[in-house]
Structure 1
Amino acid sequence: MYCNKKLFLLWIGYLLPAVGLAQDKTSRDTVAHRRDLGEVVIAGQQDGYRTPVSSIATRTATSLLETPQSVQVVGQAVIKDRQAATLNELVPLMTGVKANNGMGGFSMRGFSGYNPAEGSFIMFNGVRGNLYLWNQPSLLYNIERVEVLRGPASVLFSEGMPGGLINFVTKKPQATTGLSVHASYGSWDFARFAADATGALSANKKWLYRAIAGYDRSNSFRDQQHTENIFLAPSFTWQPSVKTAVNLELNYARTNAVHSYDRGTFVKKLPDGSYDFNAYPKERTVQSPDDYGKNTNTSATLTLNHTFNDRLSLTVVQRYVRNQFNFADHFVAGAIVNDSINRTYSTWDNDQFNWQTTAYAGYRFHTGRLEHNILTGFDYNRFGWTKNLYRNYSSTRIGIWHPDYRNDVPPVDAPTSSYDDNKQVTNLIGGYVQDQIGLLHNLKVLLSLRYDHYKMVQTPLSDKDDVQGDHAETGAWVPRAGIVYLPLPNLSVYGSFTRSFNPHLSSATASGGPFPPKTATQFEAGAKGDFFRQRLSAMVAVYHIAYRNLLAPDPTTDNPRRQVTVPGTRSQGAEVTLQGNLKNVNIIAGYAYNDHQLTNKSTIGKKGDRYVNAPHHIANVWVKYNFTQKWLKGFGIGAGGRYVSDQVGNMATQDFVLPAYTVLDAALNYDIRRFSFQFNINNITNTRYFNGGISRNTVASLGNPLNARIGVNFLIL
């Protein structure tokens, strides 16, 4: 651990002098914000690594300086420089955000988000709900930028994870004709191809289109693993007038995989009770060569934006998502004994749906000297599944060093330890009102209030279903308040109070419910500034989150599945982010401290226990230098790294602590005319590191070893 810290600090010490020498003394136009018709979110113009405006916290065109919450925007320039193909490859540049595995699991401010039971944390274009399933990393083919809002955000976006949310902003049709293609190749036979075309469909440019297509495939450093993705995203915009725009966006993503889930790499427990994270080869996994996963994600989003006048505007969004998932997979069962382990075998056929209606109106007016920006909105979300056929069997035992997979698949009539065969419908209805009040030219107040009603009904489809029906119903009031003071035009200090809620989705009736929803209450304070003629942005935030009404097992003779609510956990910490451009230098740097622990003794753990996958320290830096000398013009070189301190990998086993790690990356690019060439090398020192635990003390999610990727972009039009 000491060596990792020292190496990381030396790396930063090597990179940062270039930043100090590259102060921007040239004048630049101030970045202006605007409402882009046809887009749900209000977008700020991107300037290299800096985007000064985001709507994710308020759904209005509010500058980050005037937003009383921690927000970070990672734009197209960063995505390109990192050759990021998925969200997992972009996360290392987001302050305090950590991928827990190679799929869709992430941590923010010490809280994990993965499946719906843990809270929604993914949005697209400001509308809650993921377009992908939990076993998939989100693809970036059609993504313009990624926005991170840290802390509870239920007041605008309904139930969700207390740690924050991640919003994807998609590329929209443009009036100017454009066509580009991309190809890249990398380690483990990775290959990726993409095409992006946009332009006008009519001479008056009232009809616009954009068509994005992509294909990628990759093996892995692990045995037998393989993934293949096909992606299509056509979109159309109709602008009958300068006040009105209608946008239709379609998404289709098809995934075929061998080993759909990230089941991790084996960890050996030593006789003294400690763990050896280097004992077994990185190539080994508990899964079989015949395990597979097939995902089909289809969605359609229709958006209407209308501006009545300078004071009144309306946005209406209707989205439909269908996710189909079929898989067969192995997982560990019990402890490793004599370098071998028992396994389970699961099959799953799942068909999910999500209807989302979102509408909100903004109105600006004055009462005396007070300026008001009122936002009132309504959300209706109907989601669930029409098929959920899941079976779990006991399977064969394998040796870790010399696995034998010949008898992996059990007989069709083998007894199961669990059997799901049901359908489920959830209705989530909510409304809210928000007022951004300008008291003085440099003093802003934000007040918001929301009410949500949640109702879930699960129905068995056969007598084999374990639960045989369930239902849950609850409601929640969600307030928010914030204040921002700007002592200087480029400097602000703020404080805020926010809250989130998350209903319990697991057998609320059968286990002793109904239960009140999980709630998180956050107090946050911070400061933000734009420096060097608004080229470099800095942010400091401190926070305290109280998490309540967690479920803990409390079995009785009459009801062995009985659960009770417990007070929960406390997460607190601080974050620092530096992001922007200084002359020839682009930089993103961040540090996050987090302390997340249980506040009371229960069957979950004892008071003071560390929360799972929540390291105390995460630090990241990425610096790119763009050459302007005549003989080097077009070249750029980037380098950076990420340090993550140790973390508990299993809540029930506090001594299962994943070691700290440091990962270093570098990149080189060359732009000439219509071509752009990019070379990235990741994990330069080939560090063996673990992303996070997977609810066991026998396996953990292993990060990628040394790997490289080369790519070329060609702008045809």
Structure 2
Amino acid sequence: MQRTTGFPFPLARGAIAAAALAALCLHAGAQTAAFDILAQPLPGALARFAQQSGVQIVYPPELVQGRRANAVQGAQPAEQALATLLRGSGLRMRRDGATLVIERIPAEDAAVLPEVRVLADAEAETATGPVHGLVARRSATATKTDTPLIETPQSITVVTAEQMRTLRTASVEQAFDYSAGVQAVSGYSRSFDAIYSRGFWIDSGGSQYADGLRLSGSSWASGKQEPYGLERVELIKGAASVLYGMAAPGGVLNTVSKRPTQERVREVVAEAGSHGHKQIGVDLGGAVSPEGDWDWRLTALVRDSGTPVGPLRNDGIYIAPALRWRPSADTSLTLLLQHQKREIGYPFALPVQGTLVPGPGGAFIPRFTFVGEPGFDRQDVSQTSLAALFEHRFSDDATLRSNLRLFDSKVDVFFTGAYNPVAGNPRLWERSAYDEFESAHGFASDTHWQQRWRSGAVEHTLLAGVDFMRLRAATDTFRRPIAPLDLYAPAYGAAVPSERSVAWLSREQRRQTGVYLQDQIKWGERWVLLAGLRHDRSSYTSGDARDAALKTEDTSALTGRMGLVYLLPGGWAPFAGYSQSFEPQGGTDAQGRRFDPTEGAQVEAGLRWQPPGRDFLLSASAFDLRKTNVLTPDPANPRFNVQTAEQRARGLEVEARGQASRDLELVGAYAYTDRRTTKSNVAEEVGRREARQPYHQASLWASYRLAVWDLPHWTVGAGLRYTGSTQDRNWRDGVLRGVPAYTLVDLMLAWQDGPWRVALNARNAFDKDYLVCGTGSCLHGDPRTVTLSAGYRW
């Protein structure tokens, strides 16, 4: 028999039990305690119940394996809390003196409780709902159907809200700190969400989605998503156009917003930390009325913060009300409104001379030197989106979903760049100040029909759909002259003249229509086949507003995917797959022919292990990813390009996350990525590595609850993040230089008791100074950042 208790030492446990035996016999059910237990696998939930209540519970270990527990929140009697925990699990508890015993509900009792079984199904994990813990078991990002991850024949990383809360994640990029083969795009990532995945750039230009719908598609104006408003961040790795249309070969990034729920949600979180950081967030929700058809959610956040680059700010307001109407068990309509206003700044990169290598006289530019002018450089961002998610189930086998997002965003960017040294004085750098006004608005829709049927031992899940996107964007950029700056001893105060000249006035219109078909075929208990096909037509109109007419380019593409999974006993699942992607590109060759879209193709083989009844997932994959139709100079006419270049990424990725033991949680990753140019008409480019992509990346995060030291409310955490060396080719002198590897340390100390959680987090705890370089410019990585947070749930 398994005995779980809040007191870990046998002698202490015996003494306390003996001293309190009479009281426990009388009051085991009436004893009140503050509980904060999330819905999760039952073994872990019982351990937390014992810790928070101090009550001894007894059960056979095999009885609770593979079962899930309900959430329990707030102060209440221990017996009532345990009954709530077990509701819908097929188990019940009874009191035996000082002990609470868990046993199976007899068949004759269970038969009269059908409503409990329905509730248990409703509270099970779904592809778009919350994940209780670090490990997601289901996702819709890779298939647009609610599919177990272990049955998906393509690599996908899912970062849960629980992991982001533990690590105090401040951006979508930081969500992937402990993921394989993903890097933040330094500099730009302060302005808009952008990452490298498997060596290829992913941004909002076509590879970023929220709730399965495309974001604005315009970089600066697309801004950043607020992690506090997300249930999960998911990344399909490698070519993935078959369900989404145009996308970078590195993958598709999709976020899942916090949504209305029947379960009561009440949370307030306050933060304070480095660079004058102050932030408060609230997350509220629940049913409008106990028997009603409406659920609601309100997530909001206010931030007042500086940055490592002194004059630049990171202030923001985020508000996201949501409403769900469920007129019947088969129909739902969810409305998600999000609005953000942010004042941030773009830290312009510093030259290689003075950062990566010594500058004049062996000097180095001070860390986080600001090249602009205080009071001028800033970004004012405003984003609003409204999404409507409709679903109607005609039967257990037939479902219609129709989703729509309207978006409107604008950004006013004021920044200063330092581009070249002044002749005769290499400490002094010429500068230009820019005013850039960018706006984007449009909509995206996706409608699909899901049909299930069985033929003998073969089960099909067919998905047929059509999606549409329309974007209008405008960028007006003006240049102002400004005095040079000594980067080694900057003295600010130069006047920014009111006179400005037009740099460019770009206009952009984009439309895309895609039709797709997918079949998930499962036969027997072991084999899963996924096959899909998609056809896209896109129209892209662009040009300078000063021109008489804009240029329109129409393209089409056919992409597909096929993959196979074999489900072995014990939670093992080897898989293999082939997938394609495409990205339109503008321009013509010397004969006036429009360029074809670039094409991505990936071959991948991997293995997952998700042991039954445990919150743990191990995944490993090897891949070969190629991008073709890349532009390269035309040998016969170097003023034009031809599409004969090719880029390739090969690699190996391993990820593990979950509960390693009752008190130990782990998140670890390793990636080997060889990303290089394999074909080009420029001889020195052939075989060249991608400058920003390291061969090796590795990370490991561990958090340990100190119950064994009789400190069940305390948790310590530590993480290591290693990034291997990269290369940088300076466009000014053509020299190829190595950029050193670096290792960062993250630390955490947390205390949790019932509804309260207080944590101290330190990113880059030892303040490692490291560089991220590309094309002759470098940025210093984030310094030590300490955050103290206090949260209360009720």
What TM-score do you get using the length of structure 2 for normalisation? 0.80
Matches of 1:36 and 1:563 in 2, distance apart?
A: 57
Match of 2:532 in 1: 448
2:653 to 549, 554, 575: 575
1:598 to 671, 677, 681: 677
Matches of 1:274 and 1:64 in 2, distance apart?
A: 51
| Residue pair 1:358, 1:380 contacting (<8 A) in 2 also | yes
The letter of the residue matching 1:689 is Y
| Residue pair 1:39, 1:125 contacting (<8 A) in 2 also | no
Q: Report SS of the residue matched to 2:610.
A: strand
The letter of the residue matching 2:65 is R
Matches of 2:362 and 2:67 in 1, distance apart?
A: 51
| Residue pair 1:152, 1:162 contacting (<8 A) in 2 also | yes
Match of 1:517 in 2: 597
In terms of mean alpha carbon deviation, does 532-541 or 606-615 score higher? 532-541
Alignment of 1:484-499 (within 5 A): 484-499=565-580
Alignment of 1:347-426 (within 5 A): 347-385=435-473, 387-407=474-494, 409-414=496-501, 418-420=503-505, 422-426=506-510
1:340 to 409, 419, 428: 428
Matches of 1:332 and 1:511 in 2, distance apart?
A: 38
2:784 to 685, 706, 713: 706
Q: Deviations over 1:471-501 (max 9, x none)?
A: 2111000011001112325111111000000
Q: Report SS of the residue matched to 1:298.
A: strand
Q: Deviations over 1:493-536 (max 9, x none)?
A: 1110000000014x559995510001110000001112374332
Alpha-carbon offset, residue 340 of structure 1: 2.1
| Residue pair 2:599, 2:628 contacting (<8 A) in 1 also | yes
The letter of the residue matching 2:208 is I
In terms of mean alpha carbon deviation, does 675-684 or 334-343 score higher? 334-343
2:311 to 208, 215, 224: 224
Match of 1:689 in 2: 770
Match of 2:288 in 1: 201
Matches of 2:315 and 2:628 in 1, distance apart?
A: 41
Alignment of 1:308-347 (within 5 A): 308-335=394-421, 338-347=426-435
Matches of 1:211 and 1:270 in 2, distance apart?
A: 45
For residues 366 and 532 of structure 1, do their structure 2 counterparts lie closer, same or farther at Cα, with a shift above 3 Å needed? Answer: closer
Q: Is 1:83 equivalent to 2:168 in the alignment?
A: yes
In terms of mean alpha carbon deviation, does 138-147 or 232-241 score higher? 138-147
For residues 275 and 642 of structure 1, do their structure 2 counterparts lie closer, same or farther at Cα, with a shift above 3 Å needed? Answer: farther
For residues 679 and 72 of structure 1, do their structure 2 counterparts lie closer, same or farther at Cα, with a shift above 3 Å needed? Answer: same
The letter of the residue matching 1:535 is D
Q: Report SS of the residue matched to 2:227.
A: coil
Matches of 2:313 and 2:65 in 1, distance apart?
A: 47
Matches of 1:537 and 1:587 in 2, distance apart?
A: 10
- Tell me which structure has the larger Cα radius of gyration: 2
For residues 45 and 272 of structure 1, do their structure 2 counterparts lie closer, same or farther at Cα, with a shift above 3 Å needed? Answer: closer
2:65 to 7, 15, 28: 28
Alignment of 1:116-135 (within 5 A): 116=205, 120-129=206-215, 133-134=219-220
Q: Deviations over 1:324-349 (max 9, x none)?
A: 01111111323585222122222111
Q: Is 1:107 equivalent to 2:188 in the alignment?
A: no
Q: Deviations over 1:291-323 (max 9, x none)?
A: 121110000001101111111111100101111
2:667 to 588, 601, 621: 588
1:165 to 223, 234, 252: 252
1:481 to 523, 545, 562: 562
Alpha-carbon offset, residue 411 of structure 1: 4.8
Matches of 2:357 and 2:304 in 1, distance apart?
A: 43
**Would you tell me which structure has more helix in proportion to its own residues?**
2
| Unpaired segments ≥5 residues, structure 1 | 1-21
Match of 1:97 in 2: 182
Q: Is 1:181 equivalent to 2:253 in the alignment?
A: no
| Residue pair 2:321, 2:337 contacting (<8 A) in 1 also | yes
Q: Deviations over 1:177-207 (max 9, x none)?
A: 3322110000010111111111222452311
In terms of mean alpha carbon deviation, does 674-683 or 25-34 score higher? 25-34
Matches of 2:218 and 2:681 in 1, distance apart?
A: 35
Matches of 2:427 and 2:250 in 1, distance apart?
A: 38
The letter of the residue matching 1:642 is R
| Unpaired segments ≥5 residues, structure 2 | 1-46, 48-59, 70-117
Q: Deviations over 1:224-257 (max 9, x none)?
A: 1212101110000000000000000000000113
The letter of the residue matching 2:788 is I
Q: Report SS of the residue matched to 2:146.
A: coil
Matches of 1:247 and 1:526 in 2, distance apart?
A: 36
Matches of 1:391 and 1:322 in 2, distance apart?
A: 23
Matches of 1:206 and 1:401 in 2, distance apart?
A: 64
The letter of the residue matching 2:385 is S
| Residue pair 1:30, 1:534 contacting (<8 A) in 2 also | no
Q: Is 1:643 equivalent to 2:722 in the alignment?
A: yes
For residues 487 and 196 of structure 1, do their structure 2 counterparts lie closer, same or farther at Cα, with a shift above 3 Å needed? Answer: closer
Q: Is 1:540 equivalent to 2:620 in the alignment?
A: yes
Q: Deviations over 1:568-604 (max 9, x none)?
A: 2011100011111021111110000000100123359
Matches of 1:36 and 1:222 in 2, distance apart?
A: 50
| Residue pair 1:111, 1:162 contacting (<8 A) in 2 also | yes
In terms of mean alpha carbon deviation, does 51-60 or 587-596 score higher? 51-60
Matches of 2:628 and 2:275 in 1, distance apart?
A: 44
1:438 to 522, 536, 548: 522
| Residue pair 1:642, 1:663 contacting (<8 A) in 2 also | yes
Alpha-carbon offset, residue 146 of structure 1: 1.2
For residues 520 and 677 of structure 1, do their structure 2 counterparts lie closer, same or farther at Cα, with a shift above 3 Å needed? Answer: same
Q: Report SS of the residue matched to 1:58.
A: coil
2:511 to 414, 427, 434: 427
What TM-score do you get using the length of structure 1 for normalisation? 0.88
Alpha-carbon offset, residue 684 of structure 1: 1.9
The letter of the residue matching 1:234 is P
| Residue pair 1:609, 1:654 contacting (<8 A) in 2 also | no
For residues 47 and 300 of structure 1, do their structure 2 counterparts lie closer, same or farther at Cα, with a shift above 3 Å needed? Answer: closer
Q: Report SS of the residue matched to 2:263.
A: coil
For residues 705 and 45 of structure 1, do their structure 2 counterparts lie closer, same or farther at Cα, with a shift above 3 Å needed? Answer: closer
The letter of the residue matching 2:533 is L
Matches of 1:271 and 1:586 in 2, distance apart?
A: 37
Q: Report SS of the residue matched to 1:665.
A: strand
Q: Report SS of the residue matched to 1:92.
A: coil
Match of 2:103 in 1: none
Matches of 1:413 and 1:45 in 2, distance apart?
A: 50
Report the RMSD for the aligned CA atoms in angstroms: 3.2
Q: Deviations over 1:645-686 (max 9, x none)?
A: 112345865714322110001101111222110100111221
1:633 to 712, 715, 720: 712
Alpha-carbon offset, residue 413 of structure 1: 4.9
By relative contact order (CA 8 Å, sep 6+), the higher-ranking structure is 1
For residues 580 and 203 of structure 1, do their structure 2 counterparts lie closer, same or farther at Cα, with a shift above 3 Å needed? Answer: closer
Alpha-carbon offset, residue 144 of structure 1: 1.0
Q: Deviations over 1:131-154 (max 9, x none)?
A: 995474432121111112111111
Matches of 1:442 and 1:450 in 2, distance apart?
A: 27
| Residue pair 1:39, 1:303 contacting (<8 A) in 2 also | no
For residues 692 and 123 of structure 1, do their structure 2 counterparts lie closer, same or farther at Cα, with a shift above 3 Å needed? Answer: farther
Identical pairs, percent? 24
Matches of 2:312 and 2:378 in 1, distance apart?
A: 9
In terms of mean alpha carbon deviation, does 82-91 or 704-713 score higher? 82-91
Matches of 2:606 and 2:588 in 1, distance apart?
A: 39
For residues 178 and 682 of structure 1, do their structure 2 counterparts lie closer, same or farther at Cα, with a shift above 3 Å needed? Answer: same
In terms of mean alpha carbon deviation, does 266-275 or 435-444 score higher? 266-275
In terms of mean alpha carbon deviation, does 179-188 or 343-352 score higher? 343-352
Match of 1:57 in 2: 142
Matches of 1:39 and 1:411 in 2, distance apart?
A: 60
1:614 to 693, 701, 720: 693
